Structure 1
Amino acid sequence: MANQVEDYLTKQGISFTAHELPVEREDGTAVLTEEPVDHDKIFKTLVMKGNKTGVVIAVVPLDARLDYKKAAKATGNRKIGLPPMDFVLEHTGYEHGANTPIGIRLNHPDYLIVFDESIHNYEQVIISSGEIGRAVELASSDLIELLHPQIESLLK
């Protein structure tokens, strides 16, 4: 059954493949139980809070480590960090592990979305579609065209 993100992509005529990811909940956090075949194409969505801009959405490769100083500078903040989970749910409508840049853009068009520049190295990427264990794979160029994110160097 399609969800809001998949319905939106369909309405926009954007080609995508829906994926079920092997996840399990541990202490309120969704954890992959096995490495998916296309693990290297998965990008995670991080909800952050900047001291000047408020909510900032960063999209980075799953195994990458965000550089907070680079993220702060790229978004016009002096300090930026990961807020508590209740802040994330309240400001995005998604629980931890289900945040999706597409759904967040649809529901909060004013939030700043920043992709790491490594997105240009991928023809296809896999991102959450707004539910734990559910993701969509689409062309990175389509995702960029759809969301018009800032693209910056965000990694350590």
Structure 2
Amino acid sequence: MTDPTERVRAAASARGLDVEIRERPAARNLAEAAGLLGLEPADIVKTLVVKRSDDTYLFALVPGDRSISWPKLRTVVGVNRLQLPDQQRALEATGYERGTIVPIGSTNDWPVFADTAIVGRRVAMGAGAHGFSLFVDADALISAYDAVVADISQPMDADA
């Protein structure tokens, strides 16, 4: 399969996860993407691949209107250091380019940590390829990936 959205569809199907993938115009930022989809930024979940000091990774799912709280995430994961990898390492860790990353169909089955704010919602997220958005029930995604649900985010303007 060369189409990354096909990899996402196949992986979702294998986990019994119902997803909808829609093509959309390119967006310069998350707020513009939300507008194109008729959503609020909080309805778009950012999937961030995060590197641990032992060169393993995890996925952090955070609402679009919030950012990772590094102290909270480190506490939940039980480590002292976490960082965002550079673009090449993120691609190697997931098989997806930044801006398209999603746990579904990742080339590695890294643990998933989901922010409590996404629970009970239908959300949009990356779909494995630029110009596409994936829609999924967040609770079904959390269940399919046995995600750890915790408060791991903060308002965008917080300094923590």
TM-score by length of 2: 0.80
Question: Could you say which residue in structure 1 is the equivalent of 2:157?
Answer: none
Task: Report the secondary structure of 2:67's partner residue.
Answer: coil
1:51 equivalent in alignment to 2:53: yes
- Greater strand content: 1
Q: Give yes or no for contact 1:48–1:83 (8 Å, CA) kept in 2.
A: yes
Shift of 1:53: 6.7
Aligned equivalent of 2:158 = none
Q: Which residue of 2 aligns with 1:95?
A: 97
SS of the residue corresponding to residue 46 of structure 2 reads strand
TM alignment of 1:139-150, pairs within 5 A = 139-150=137-148
Task: Report the CA distance between 1:132 and its aligned residue.
Answer: 1.3
Q: Aligned AA for 2:23?
A: E
Identical aligned residues as a percent: 24
- Number of matched residues? 147
Q: State the one-letter code of the partner of 1:4.
A: R
Q: Secondary structure at the match of 2:135?
A: strand
Query: Partner letter of residue 5 of structure 1?
Result: V
Question: Any idea what the Cα deviations from partners look like across 1:95-132, whole Å, max 9, x if unmatched?
Answer: 1111111122xx312x221111112142x111212111
Give the Cα separation in 2 of the matches to 1:128 and 1:70.
Answer: 24
Q: Is the 8 A contact 1:52 1:78 kept in 2?
A: no
Indicate the SS of the match to 1:96: coil
Shift of 1:86: 1.2
Q: Give the structure 1 partner of residue 10 of structure 2.
A: 7
> Aligned equivalents of 1:16 and 1:89: distance in 2?
22
1:1-150 → structure 2 map (5 Å cutoff)? 3-10=6-13, 12-24=15-27, 31-32=29-30, 33-34=32-33, 35=35, 36-39=37-40, 40-52=42-54, 54-104=56-106, 107-109=107-109, 111-122=110-121, 124-150=122-148
* Unpaired segments ≥5 residues, structure 2: 155-160
In 2: Cα distance, 1:92 partner to 1:15 partner: 21
